[in-house]
Structure 1
Amino acid sequence: MKAGSKFLNAVSAFALSAGVVASGASVVVLASPMAAQAAVIQRVEVRGAQRAGQEAVRSNLTIRPGVAFSNSDIDDSVKKLYGTGYFSDVKINVSGSTLVVTVSEAMLVNQVVFNGNRKIKDDKLQTVVQTQPLGPYSEAIVKADIERLKEAYKAIGRSDVQITTQTASVGQGRINLAFVINEGDRTKIADINFVGNQAYSASRLHDVLITKESGPLSFLTRKDVYSEDKLRADEDALRQFYYSHGYPDFRVVSSNAVLNESKNEYTLTFTVEEGPRYRFGDVNVESTVQGISADDLKGLVQTRSGDTYNSKQIQKSIEAISKKVAEAGYPFARVTPRGDRNFQTSTVGVTYLVDQGERAYVERIEIRGNTRTRDYVIRREFDLSEGDAFNQQMITRAKRRLEALGYFSKVNISTQQGSSPDRVVIVVDVEDQSTGSFGIGVGYAADNGVVLEASVEEKNFLGRGQYIRVAAGGGLDNARTYSLNFTEPYFLGYRLAAGFDVFKSQTASHDYYKYTEQGFTLRVTAPITEDLATTFRYNYKEFNYSGRDSWQGNLSQPYLDLINGGTYVQSSISQTLTYNTLDSSTLPREGIYASLTHEFAGLGGDSEFYKIYGRARYFHLLSDEMDLVGSIAVSAGHVVATGDHLNVFDQFTLGGRQIRGFESDGIGPRMPNGDTLGGTTYFTASAEVNFPMPGLPEDAGLRGAVFADAGSLYGNDVPNSAGALGTDSSLRASVGAGITWASPFGALRFDYAVPVAKESYDREQRFRFSMANQF
């Protein structure tokens, strides 16, 4: 103490006798009441730093020899040393003119292992924990790691996971750390309840949600995994559904998830307030921008007076007007919808106000959260880049495009102030999700019975946004199919979807011949508008016919008269226009899907023809309450020879895919022995109503349908086909019922149809099993 007093007197500052005792997570500073002013030490002595080294300790001190310090500096130094994680105990005290720092070094982690994990692999878990090999061991960090691991398991639906740790010393201050994991059973979602819904049934609202109740196949779909993020997304999905169906006052009062720990299952409850249903009242456009006429913009408005209120139509109208105004040379113009609510008539008038917005530029686009998808895949969905004029509608459109990709489970776009008032930073937060799948498909072909197909599909190949699919299938009678499909959605940096398809199939007639088809297609698709696109293709096919008895050589009679055994080549170019306004690609309720193709063959090979064919289908929601969806479809096609004649494989065929109740290729011209000849002209029409299966939850994905089909295939330009049957335009028709199932393996359809108009030589097939809907 005398030495200390002399030191204090020498510096003539104040009487100081200070010590710091620190252990674990707490720091205790012991100081005299007079320790409020500064003192000076001449040197620093470090004790106990064997592995870290004395200089490493000194570098983390805020106290320097010859520089005045106080108790707060001592406190900061202790915290910094603890913050390194390499010390389990730190003590600092003053001995004369010397600052003595005594440390106890923490154990080092030699190895981190995971035991008992099967659902999440080691490499994934390693990225979750902060404790790493050759790093310091900290009980606090390990406890936090356990919580992080539990969150990772909750994300895959295993909320009852149990995690403990084990340590083993390996000498020299090192330990091995093991996380012992009991993954437990999958946490299910037992019930999803709705309170306050009047306009729509619970089963209808179930279909809107991302989260689904647990079922027998939930382990494949993973849609019954609960998370806070999904709950928020479900709230937004409900809002968007009601806003687009006439309920602008809708709100989610509350949503909660209750976990029954004994059963390991959640019950979700959404309490909603729907409000009244509205229609659009008067719709107008006003412009305060000089040179922009409101009358010129009215044709872009999609909201119509008298229609049911629909927020999506408002958003599309805003985007269309914004684009038009920007193209006219006003990039900063702002379009704002103003609502005029009439409670007596339950209408909402909408006026689109176009004014000169504030000048703002995009300083940068910051992308966060993408662990797999490349940055450029996200950036290319924006119609603006750094330095461009800021446009909120373009941001909204980019968000919609990113969500439509299917690469992300969450897309959130926000803005921040840039380096100056006229600079904006766009922040894109995304969360990658699995985009690969393995599928097993089942189909039915008239000649080959049940056909099985296995496929591997990746929608975001290597995080580059590319699509690739490999498939192989087979059936009875040596039927085989192989295919490879690849698409680059932004070819050469432009919004051009370029790709190729390679395929091979082998089948056989029951009586006469073996048939093999192989080839490839090169294609590129360019968007014209948001709803309209055009596709150009080069198609190359090889057809090989051989006699069934020997599987080689010429065909046996009577097909020999139509085509000789051997290989034929068809080389063509085609162009397709596609118009798509469907509200959903899996279960459309509103919109049109139409395509028109014309094809020219004659670029070498054995075929010379011009074809034109198309199909259109219109969907309309007949009843919101009953989720009753009606659709009508029409199709037609015609082919003419540009050379001497058509080959059998050049003509159209028609069957159960277009007119149910008949075999594939079961309608139209054929030879007397029954072999399909095809025709030069066809037309079809179909009407259908589909609905949820009564008594079953909509989450089951089962829907019923009733339908009526009609059409005809006629005409013939194949030589040596004298005596062919069915070359006239006799009408065929059928009625029936079906069931569709949105299964984890893809959309499956079962139809039973009865022909009500047919010819004696047509081939019936009343039961049909197929994959998906054909728009």
Structure 2
Amino acid sequence: MRAARKLLNAASIFALSVTPAVGGAVILQAVSVSTADAAVVRSISVSGNQRVADATIADFVGYQSGKNFTSAEVDNAVKALFRTGLFSDVSVNTSGSTLVINVVEYATVNQVLFQGNRKLKDDRLEAVVRLRSRERFDQQALDADVDAIVEAYSRTGRSDVQVNASVVDLGENRVNVIFQIAEGGKTKISQINFVGNNAFGDRRLQGIISIKKTNLLSWFTRTDVYDDQRLAADEEQLRRFYFNRGYADFRVISSSANVDPETGNIAITFEVDEGERYAFGNIDIDSTVSGVDPEELKRSVETRDGKTYSAKDVEDTLIAMSEKLAAKGFPFAEVTPVGNRNFENNTIDVSYIVDQGQRAYVERIEIVGNTTTRDYVIRREFDLSEGDAFNQILIRRAQKRLEALDFFQRVEITTRPGSQPDRVIIVVQVADKPTGEFGVGVGYSTGSTDTSDKGVNFEGSISQRNFQGRGQAIRLAVGGGVDSRTYNVSFTEPYFLGYRMSATFRAFRSTNSYDDDGYDSATSGGSVSFGLPITDNFSANFGYSYSQDEYTVTDAALLPSAIDTEINSGRNPYIRSAINYGFVYNSIDDRNDPHEGVYVSVQQQVAGLGGDAKYIKTTADGRYYHTLSEEADIVGFLRAGGGNITGLGEDVRVFDNLRLGPSRIRGFETNGIGPVDAAGNHLGGTSYLNFTAEAQFPLPAVPRDLGFKGAIFADAATLFGSDLADATAASTDMKFRTSAGISLIWQSPFAPLRIDYAFPISKEDTDEVQQFNFSVSSAF
């Protein structure tokens, strides 16, 4: 027995082999068994390596001549080699005083090739696969890449795509990877059906969801592409729509996509249960937190007794209360709404319970899915950061802000546990969307009865609302007509100097040739303005502008008296230096397709900080949108505005007078109404008022998915008053012009396009008519 033990100790040979298994697991295989005694190695033998040098492998395992190698150290050597990611198989053992290492290197990808792909180009597919040229080949990565390519095609509506992958051995442990793709045809969405809806028809609900039936424009909009995530998002859209219109019990029972085996087309069906429609009942606030006075929170309540129930109003109330509690030193206070349904009168009593919430802190904010927008653009919309007290209501507010940016197709914010029980990780998942726009405006003037001022006016612009993913906006615009040219460039930084304050810088130049009046003009200048948000809907602005007007006489015999006097007054060029300030309130729900909300803007400009101009100008504009019929999707629109300019110590000159056009009264040309001189030349006025009433509605017999709407409108406006001696007394009176007309509105793949045709109802003989007007804004 003693001799046998001595023999085993003398052998001192052990080995360990590690082989990767399916799924990434590691199988340990004992090659031979030895004693636990260490073996002293004095040399190393490496085999199987083709690209990795022996010395590099020796460094990986920590080889040193004369070092003792135990079984544990052999195990560590094997793991170290696998951690390099260079080898598919490794074995390490000692034989006498030699450390023996055998490796099998991963093959290197020489090229990744795509064949048969026409709809998705190589660069699109290269972005979704994991295998890369000059990197190691991995069978699991190859399998995952096949699935990724199938998923990429599915998102374009080609769910029957077939992808076959092959590997071509080039020798010297190099391979080419080839994906052979049969794209197949595009799957169409032939039907979108709703079951169980009574309050709203199918056409109305189809306008709510993002998935659309296949139509003539689907090749561009791609709104007929089906995937599970979009279907789930549309379920949430339906819930929001119903919850905000009184249907607190609404639920989506099921949503399904059935494929027709003959055509391959998809029919989508939503089965819903609308429930009853509710109004708000009694509203009260109860607090269990010492120091919190419920009476002070009542001003934050957006829900009112008798008002139609709206989940949005409840959410706005929660946000307002949470902000007020945090400002008063209660960062962990939680506001929970508790609803009590009264089924007899269909009301919901809401109690807002204020409790001391669990103390939790934000560990970090993770942002996922943004391919264009920079992380910091998203982070700055949060009122909390790493280390701050976690507040679910402020998370909801950040989501609303991110959605309001209009940079993303969708915004989802979730949470998960952090590294400690009182730590929370916030996960923000977004999907960027195109934010570039171009605009085209076209108008045709028929001229007045005593002039030949007819022709087409044009304006084109290109802009980017999320320039280089930094949240900045840049706009270039060029316009003009037969005798005019305009040039504008502007840049907006929404967080100037790191503060939640926007800064807009603008430069402009315009030239006009007034052949009938015997002169030309050129105006150049610039401005800087700052916007300061006070609440989510209310903001203030202030700034400075500078401009210079230059006039050139082309025919002195044709000059109107007022213009002749001004040009020869010794103030040519004429310098205007002014400060601007005002405020804006905006609660419009959708800037492209508004249904509800109020917009109010009041602005004032004071000229006289140097320069020649000395006046104070005030303008106001108010707009109100309200859905007149939910079922028919009829939206009412009211607008009212006014303005005045008053000289400071001097009369208002002709070039500073106010002017109106199609933007406030359709049917009339810009500077086509108001005070005139004896020859009928329009001089502008010192005051104006304008009013509009409009109803927008879907076009009957036209599929809602095409995005067409109609409108009928009536406009009224007056431009009156003048400090000019040349103005005829009759033309300076406050005489209203009125018009009515019809419009065609198209929510195009670019953005809203509108064609107006107006019929002047009441006008003066000197007015200049422009019955047709066309405008469009477009995203690319």
The TM tier, using the shorter chain, reads: 0.7 to 0.9
Q: Distance in 2 between matches of 1:254 and 1:314?
A: 26
2:751 is matched with which residue? 746
Is residue 488 of structure 1 aligned with residue 493 of structure 2?
yes
Deviation at 1:522? 0.8
- Whichever residue aligns with residue 467 of structure 1, its letter is A
Alignment of 1:683-694 (within 5 A): 683-694=689-700
SS at match of 2:150: helix
- Structure 1 residues 171, 763: closer, same or farther in 2, change over 3 A? same
Among residues 556, 561, 564, which one is paired with 1:561 in the alignment? 564
Contact between 1:438 and 1:454, CA under 8 Å: does it hold in 2? no
Q: What per-residue deviation string (whole Å, max 9, x for no partner) do you get for residues 500-538 of structure 1? A: 122233344463344443322211000112211111121
CA distance in 1, matches of 2:713, 2:507: 35
Query: In terms of mean alpha carbon deviation, does 43-52 or 144-153 score higher?
Result: 43-52
Cα distance, 1:95 vs. partner? 9.1
The residue aligned with 1:428 is: 427
Residue number in structure 2 paired with 1:437: 436
CA distance in 2, matches of 1:183, 1:93: 51
Number of the residue aligned with 1:403 = 403
Looking at structure 2, the residues matched to 244 and 310 of structure 1 have their Cα atoms a distance apart, in angstroms, of 4
**CA deviation digits over 1:418-460, x for unaligned, max 9?**
4444x33332322341444252513215367444444332222
Q: 1:325 touches 1:333 (CA, 8 Å); kept in 2?
A: yes
Tell me the amino acid that sits aligned with residue 465 of structure 1. G
- Local SS of the residue matching 2:609: strand
Distance 2:383 2:23 in 1: 51
| 8 A Cα contact 1:554 1:560, kept in partner | no
* Shift of residue 359, structure 1, vs aligned partner: 2.9
Q: Give distance in 2, aligned partners of 1:349 and 1:433.
A: 40
- Counterpart CA distance in 1 for 2:118 and 2:462 is 23
Asked whether the 8 Å contact 1:508–1:548 carries over to 2, the reply is no
- Which whole-Å CA distance do the structure 2 matches of 1:181 and 1:175 have between them? 19
Give the Å deviation of 1:580.
Answer: 0.9
What per-residue deviation string (whole Å, max 9, x for no partner) do you get for residues 97-128 of structure 1?
99977555443222335566666565554342
What residue identity is the alignment partner of 2:761?
V
Distance 1:348 1:59, change over 3 A: farther
Indicate how the Cα distance of structure 1 residues 25 and 711 shifts in structure 2: closer, same or farther if over 3 A, else same.
Answer: closer
Contact 1:435 1:459 in 2 (8 A): no
- Alignment pair present for 1:714 and 2:720: yes
After TM superposition, give the deviation of residue 561 of structure 1 in Å: 3.5
Contact 2:365 2:428 in 1 (8 A): no
Which structure has more relative contact order (CA 8 Å, sep 6+)? It is 2
One-letter amino acid of the structure 2 residue matched with residue 586 of structure 1: N
Compared with structure 1, are the counterparts of its residues 587 and 22 closer, same or farther at alpha carbon in structure 2 (3 Å cutoff)? closer
Q: Find 1:506's aligned residue among 508, 511, 514.
A: 511
Which residue of structure 1 aligns with residue 8 of structure 2?
A: 10
Decide which moves more: 614-623 or 173-182: 173-182
- For normalisation by structure 1, the TM-score amounts to 0.86
| Residue of structure 2 equivalent to 1:650 | 656
Structure 2 CA distance for partners of 1:81 and 1:30, relative to 1, 3 Å: closer
After superposition, give the CA deviation of every residue in 1:619-653 in whole Å (9 maximum; x if it has no partner).
Answer: 11111111111122111111111132112221111
The one-letter amino acid of 1:729's match is M
- Pair 1:771–1:136, CA change in 2 (3 A): closer
Find the aligned partners of 1:354 and 1:26 in 2 and give their Cα distance: 50
Alignment of 1:154-165 (within 5 A): 154-164=154-164
Name the amino acid aligned to 2:501: L
Distance (whole Å) between structure 1 residues aligned to residue 265 and residue 219 of structure 2: 14
RMSD: 4.0
Q: Structure 1 residues 22, 733: CA separation in 2 closer, same or farther (over 3 Å shift)?
A: closer
Further displaced range: 496-505 or 168-177:
168-177
Q: How does 1:455-470 map to 2 (within 5 A)?
A: 455-470=461-476
Residues 486 and 267 (structure 1), Cα distance of their counterparts in 2 relative to 1, 3 Å cut = farther
1:637 matched residue in structure 2: 643
How far has the Cα of 1:210 moved from its partner? 2.5
Distance of aligned partners of 1:99 and 1:582 in 2 relative to their CA distance in 1, 3 Å threshold = same
* Structure 2: unaligned runs, 5 residues or longer: 446-452
Aligned equivalents of 1:315 and 1:27: distance in 2?
48
CA distance in 2, matches of 1:8, 1:430: 66
| Partner SS for 1:599 | strand
In the alignment, residue 470 of structure 1 is paired with which amino acid?
A: L
The range that moved more, 295-304 or 249-258, is 249-258
One-letter identity of the residue aligned with 1:692 = P
Q: Mark the CA change 1:143 to 1:555 in structure 2 (over 3 Å): closer, same or farther.
A: farther
- Structure 2 counterpart SS, 1:631: strand
Shift of 1:304: 0.8
Q: 1:218 to 1:522 in 2, by over 3 A?
A: farther
Matched, 1:497 2:502: yes
Distance 1:60 1:564 in 2: 86
Q: Between Structure 1 and Structure 2, how many residues are aligned?
A: 759
Report what 1:356 is aligned to. Answer: 356
Instruction: From the superposition, tell whether residues 264 and 61 of structure 1 become closer, same or farther in structure 2 (CA, over 3 Å).
Output: farther
Aligned to 2:417: 417
1:589 aligns to what? 595
For 1:511-522, what aligned pairs fall within 5 Å after superposition? 511-512=516-517, 513-522=519-528
Structure 2 residue 313 is matched with structure 1 residue 307 = no
CA 1:58–1:143: 2 relative to 1, 3 Å: farther
1:3 corresponds in structure 2 to none
Q: State the partner residue of 2:711.
A: 705
Match of 2:448 in 1: none
Secondary structure of 1:208's aligned partner = coil
Deviation of 1:557 after TM superposition, in Å, equals 4.8
User: Aligned partners of 2:690, 2:437: CA distance in 1, in Å?
Assistant: 35
What is the CA–CA distance in structure 2 between the aligned matches of 1:88 and 1:270, rounded to whole Å?
A: 50
For residues 459 and 7 of structure 1, what CA distance do their matches in structure 2 show?
A: 82
Alpha-carbon distance change, 140 to 260 in structure 1, aligned in 2, over 3 angstroms: farther
Q: Deviations over 1:118-156 (max 9, x none)?
A: 665655543422212222233442232232233234334
- The DSSP-based 3-state class of the residue aligned with 1:245 is coil
Contact 2:587 / 2:599 at 8 angstroms: preserved in 1? yes
Question: Structure 2 CA distance, aligned partners of 1:400 and 1:27?
Answer: 44
TM-superposed CA distance for 1:84, in Å, is 6.7
Structure 1 stretch 383-392 or stretch 94-103: which is displaced more?
94-103
Query: Shift of the alpha carbon at 1:558?
Result: 5.6
1:319 match: 319
AA in 2 matched with 1:748: L
SS in 2 for 1:128: coil
State the SS of the aligned residue for 2:345: coil
Match of 2:128 in 1: 128
Shift of 1:594: 0.7
The 1:139/1:326 distance shift into structure 2, 3 A limit, reads closer
Deviation string 1:449-501 (CA, Å, 9 cap, x unpaired) is 444444332222222211112233454x1543322121111111111011112
Matched, 1:238 2:241: no
Residues 97-246 of structure 1 aligned to structure 2 (within 5 Å): 103-114=103-114, 122-164=122-164, 171-179=171-179, 187-246=187-246
1:174 is displaced (CA, Å) by 2.4
Aligned counterparts of 1:21 and 1:639: Cα–Cα separation in 2:
86
Q: Contact 1:633/1:686 (CA < 8 Å) preserved in 2?
A: yes
> What TM-score do the two structures reach when normalised by structure 2?
0.86
Question: Residues of 1 paired with 2:745 and 2:395: CA distance?
Answer: 37
The 1:230/1:517 distance shift into structure 2, 3 A limit, reads farther
